[in-house]
Structure 1
Amino acid sequence: MDKLVEFLNDKILPVASMISSQRHMAAIRKGIIATLPLTIIGSFFTILLNIPIESIAALVEPFKAVLDIPFRFTVGILSLYATFGIASSLARSYKLDEMTSGILAVMGFLMATVVPIQVVDGAEGIIDAGRYMSVGSLSSASLFGAIVTAIISVEIYRFMKEKNFTIKMPDGVPPEVANSFIALLPTAVILLFFWIVRHIFGFDISGFLSVLLLPFKDILAGNSLLGGLLTVFLITFFWVLGIHGPAIMGPVIRPFWDISIAENMTAFQEGAGVNALPNIFTEQFLQWFVWIGGAGGTLALVVLFLFSKSKYLKSLGRLSFLPGLFNINEPIIFGAPIVMNPILGIPFIVAPLVTTTLSYILTVTEVVPMMMARLPFTVLSPIAAWISTNWSVMAGLLVIINFIITIAIYYPFFKVFEKQQLLKEQEETEA
């Protein structure tokens, strides 16, 4: 283990540091970290809305619509906040006006992402066309679009300012007024650019990825180890890029997941044993055996953070522990961050591939049964696996084994990342 840590320090850390210090990568990382308070607070409301205890859930049910509001306006529109943060951070590196850059990027993101809803009245036809929009399109599912539009918007603004394609005000005009006039022409260009791309050409930046994946649907939805590993790889790989993996994969794979678990449940009800069910790779297989603490098995990383020498990582571990127990990992994904972080991105992808393979082998050899129930995602993983396999103790034990394996895979990368974080904290203390 020490040799591996030394290798990572000598070979991987310099490359990772070079990548992470690149202007655009740094802006993405800082902009996403800025949303951390929103993801943490929003995550607690998610837990409250999905408590897997019937008596408590019954008490919450009448207030569900009201309790859902804080989540919708934090995590539910996360990409909107991230757009402003990324653009502001990138503008700071260019010494541009941060407020103007953030506003222009938000405008570009909304133009590129949101299609206004037309309210239809049966008697009067279309009324209030374009006055309403769905906040669902502003969630983390559109984070890739947020990154792209933020960078493009700032680069357009920077280019036009450097080439003097702006309206200059006389000396003596207050800076905030002068900056507003400087931004007039860039605003028009950014607005027209994203309007034409989205509403004239009909190109959806975030949805484009789902279209690219459609040819793989037969492989991804299969019952083979290759299909399961490819699904796991794509979900985690997209997350590392800052793209909501399940949201991109969902349109392709979720209908087949739903069919798979429904077939298993039906077969079980008709008398088939848990080792003779038709499908291995249901969503529940990944949810309970692989995504321990959320995509990437991040509860292991949260636990490592709890024992970190870094003040920031220890604090983040404490804040992320309770959401992580209930399989909510936005705080750790956006707080560390794992997004655009080559050091933590490697185990985030590799660990689930290893635990998926082990879980598959133990399932086909009938050491662990197949899934025959669908439970809320906030149930603790060992308990959920135990219940979902018709009370198999081995299923619950497999979750614990996979958790230990995931910790072991994360550990050397955690030590490298911790070293990097400690150096940053030391520099800030000495500054």
Structure 2
Amino acid sequence: MAEESKGQAFLDKFAEVSARIGNQIHLRTLRDAFATVMPLYILAGIAVFVSQVLFPLFLSGDSLSAAQVWGSAVTLGTLNFAAVILAGVLGYCFAVNKHFENAISCVVVGISAFVIMMPQTIVATLGSAVYATNAADKTAATLSYAVDSFSGALGMADGYALSGVDVTGAFATSNTGANGLFGAIIIGLLAATVFIKLSGLEKLKVNLGEGVPPAVADSFNVMIPMLLTLSLFALVAAVLAGFGTDLLTLIATGIAAPLKGIMNAGPWAVIVIYTLANLLFCLGIHQSTISGVLAEPILTMLIIDNMATFAAGQPIPADHYMNMQIVNSFALIGGSGCTFALLLDTFLFSRNKGSKEVAKLSILPGLFNINEPVIYGYPIVFNLPLMIPFVLIPDLLIAATYGLTCAGVIAPCVVQAPWTTPPVISALLATGGDWRAAVWQVIEIAGAMAIYLPFMKVSERAVQKQLELEANAA
């Protein structure tokens, strides 16, 4: 009894600490913001798949180029602007979680602060030079010349060519897109935090009195805090520019790159996080409390990088093989714990009427990776025999899929498919149409069924034994 009590106390403490981590306001805001913008990434993934995989099957030449403008337009408004959108959404979600009344103003502050911290001069790749035919009229008809034509005129040495120029008044997609997501997270949260703190000071509020429209009154109430917040960020940008750098570059090199490296230095970090997350789910606390705040934001950034790389027609780098789509498509088939395999086992091998009834109700949601009916109805929660494969199987599938990707047996994940996409289809979408990935997913389901089966039998015997004991006691 003493050992059992200690074990329960440990589980309770583990659940309490995990819940506190998941409910930390900045981490919770990060999870909420990514959930809000997820449709954009899914749309971008579908557009990339259609433009780069489907269109080339029946179009070519100018027709293909014209059709791919659709995919490029979607990419421009989603992947290439993802960081700017996220900065605003983070501000809003943080305000909601802080119960700040004027949440929309945090959207303005988040986006503005993020743009303020961007470099004012960028290096742009130059494909051709365009100039007006009338020196006095800059709007006159223009001519375009290849860059190489100007090499001699600029006094460049033989063998050299003009490849890039310093440009002002422009934004680089390396800052506004996937590579700027970490900067958007840090700046968006920091700006909203400072702004809300200043907005709480009564001396900084401008009271216009009664009879003023609420929208006008709200904007004046936060006017001075907004001015002070954005001025502070502009001051930081000016100081960093004096040292020849900017905050986005510092974040990308000092924070983003190491964190991405940890997640993609083999599957081990992801396995550890999802082991803890699924164990937590077995105790009745949703796994997103852990995985949703510790792993998914970084893994999502990696698959967003892959989509942009794939859309540009470039090969996926090996340090991006581990990403969110490996987890969603290949390790959570049927939802957390790969419970679709358990449902199939139940239909084929179970003799327990209660389990079969639950399986009948759960199979359709499970096909779309919704498995709360299984977890709480089968149940898996506090069911020791089923807890073991529930935690173990996703770890094995993450490691195996990553290994096969590294070995070139299946293609890397390049599309963020909707998490509700059924098996086989999700594998095809995620890998850009690789049929081998779909075959591998079928093998995964069969393997998971083989692992679940003995534990399911043990669970059913335990349930039967418990019923017998209750009957004898009565």
TM superposition score normalised by structure 1: 0.55
- Counterparts of 1:189 and 1:89 in 2: how far apart (Å)? 21
Number of the residue aligned with 1:64: 68
Q: Name stretches of at least 5 consecutive residues in structure 2 with no aligned partner.
A: 1-7, 136-153, 155-163, 274-292, 307-313, 344-357, 371-390, 416-426, 456-474
The answer to whether the Cα contact below 8 Å between 2:92 and 2:104 also exists between their aligned partners in 1 is yes
- Counterparts of 1:115 and 1:142 in 2: how far apart (Å)? 15
Q: Which residue identity does 2:110 align to in structure 1? A: A
Q: What is the CA-CA distance between 1:347 and the residue it aligns to?
A: 8.9
Number of the residue aligned with 2:265: 230
Q: What is the CA-CA distance between 1:242 and the residue it aligns to?
A: 2.4
Q: Does 1:141 align with 2:141?
A: no
- Counterparts of 1:26 and 1:409 in 2: how far apart (Å)? 34
Moved more, 377-386 or 146-155: 377-386
Number of the residue aligned with 1:21: 23
Number of the residue aligned with 2:48: 46
The match for 2:400 among 345, 352, 355 is: 355
- Counterparts of 2:329 and 2:335 in 1: how far apart (Å)? 10
Number of the residue aligned with 1:90: 94
Q: Which residue identity does 2:40 align to in structure 1? A: L
Q: Does 1:210 align with 2:210?
A: no
The answer to whether the Cα contact below 8 Å between 1:83 and 1:146 also exists between their aligned partners in 2 is yes
Q: Which residue identity does 2:187 align to in structure 1? A: T
- Counterparts of 2:451 and 2:254 in 1: how far apart (Å)? 33
Q: Does 1:187 align with 2:200?
A: no
1:7-37 superposed Cα distances (whole Å, 9 cap, x missing partner) = 9985654433322222222222222211133
Q: What is the CA-CA distance between 1:103 and the residue it aligns to?
A: 0.8
Q: What is the CA-CA distance between 1:207 and the residue it aligns to?
A: 5.0
Q: Which residue identity does 1:50 align to in structure 2? A: Q
Q: What is the CA-CA distance between 1:239 and the residue it aligns to?
A: 7.5
Q: In angstroms, what is the RMSD of aligned CA positions?
A: 5.4
Cα distance change of structure 1 residues 316 and 111 upon mapping to structure 2, 3 Å threshold? farther
Cα distance change of structure 1 residues 234 and 302 upon mapping to structure 2, 3 Å threshold? same
The answer to whether the Cα contact below 8 Å between 1:84 and 1:102 also exists between their aligned partners in 2 is yes
Cα distance change of structure 1 residues 74 and 356 upon mapping to structure 2, 3 Å threshold? closer
The answer to whether the Cα contact below 8 Å between 1:143 and 1:242 also exists between their aligned partners in 2 is no
* Equivalences for residues 199-278 of structure 1 within 5 A: 199-201=238-240, 202-205=245-248, 208-211=251-254, 230-232=265-267, 240=295, 242-243=297-298, 246=302
- Counterparts of 1:112 and 1:408 in 2: how far apart (Å)? 53
Cα distance change of structure 1 residues 106 and 382 upon mapping to structure 2, 3 Å threshold? closer
The match for 1:196 among 220, 235, 239 is: 235
- Counterparts of 2:69 and 2:16 in 1: how far apart (Å)? 49
- Counterparts of 1:179 and 1:373 in 2: how far apart (Å)? 55
- Counterparts of 2:203 and 2:197 in 1: how far apart (Å)? 8
- Counterparts of 2:87 and 2:56 in 1: how far apart (Å)? 39
- Counterparts of 1:249 and 1:155 in 2: how far apart (Å)? 28
1:186-209 superposed Cα distances (whole Å, 9 cap, x missing partner) = 222322333333453023346534
Number of the residue aligned with 1:55: 57
Q: Name stretches of at least 5 consecutive residues in structure 1 with no aligned partner.
A: 1-5, 221-226, 251-257, 262-281, 321-345, 364-369, 387-394, 413-431
1:208-260 superposed Cα distances (whole Å, 9 cap, x missing partner) = 3434688999xx8xxxxxx997254578989726235548999xxxxxxx9xx
- Counterparts of 1:37 and 1:215 in 2: how far apart (Å)? 27
The match for 1:161 among 189, 196, 199 is: 199
1:160-194 superposed Cα distances (whole Å, 9 cap, x missing partner) = 12233524123213332222223222222322333
Q: What is the CA-CA distance between 1:98 and the residue it aligns to?
A: 0.7
- Counterparts of 1:215 and 1:21 in 2: how far apart (Å)? 25
* Count of residues in Structure 1 that have an aligned counterpart in Structure 2: 323
Q: Between the two proteins, what is the percent identity of the paired residues?
A: 14
TM superposition score normalised by structure 2: 0.51
- Counterparts of 2:319 and 2:34 in 1: how far apart (Å)? 30
Q: Which residue identity does 1:64 align to in structure 2? A: Q
The answer to whether the Cα contact below 8 Å between 2:49 and 2:432 also exists between their aligned partners in 1 is no
Number of the residue aligned with 2:285: none
Cα distance change of structure 1 residues 51 and 385 upon mapping to structure 2, 3 Å threshold? closer
The answer to whether the Cα contact below 8 Å between 1:91 and 1:154 also exists between their aligned partners in 2 is yes
Q: Does 1:176 align with 2:223?
A: no
Number of the residue aligned with 1:150: 188
Cα distance change of structure 1 residues 34 and 14 upon mapping to structure 2, 3 Å threshold? same
The answer to whether the Cα contact below 8 Å between 2:94 and 2:192 also exists between their aligned partners in 1 is yes
The answer to whether the Cα contact below 8 Å between 1:116 and 1:132 also exists between their aligned partners in 2 is yes
Number of the residue aligned with 2:327: 296
- Counterparts of 1:37 and 1:111 in 2: how far apart (Å)? 27
Q: What is the CA-CA distance between 1:75 and the residue it aligns to?
A: 3.6
Cα distance change of structure 1 residues 187 and 61 upon mapping to structure 2, 3 Å threshold? same
Q: Which residue identity does 1:177 align to in structure 2? A: V
Cα distance change of structure 1 residues 40 and 131 upon mapping to structure 2, 3 Å threshold? same
1:281-338 superposed Cα distances (whole Å, 9 cap, x missing partner) = x957985xx76x82435443253279699x9xx8898499xxxxxxxxxxxxxxxxxx
* SS of equivalent to 2:187: helix
The answer to whether the Cα contact below 8 Å between 1:382 and 1:397 also exists between their aligned partners in 2 is no
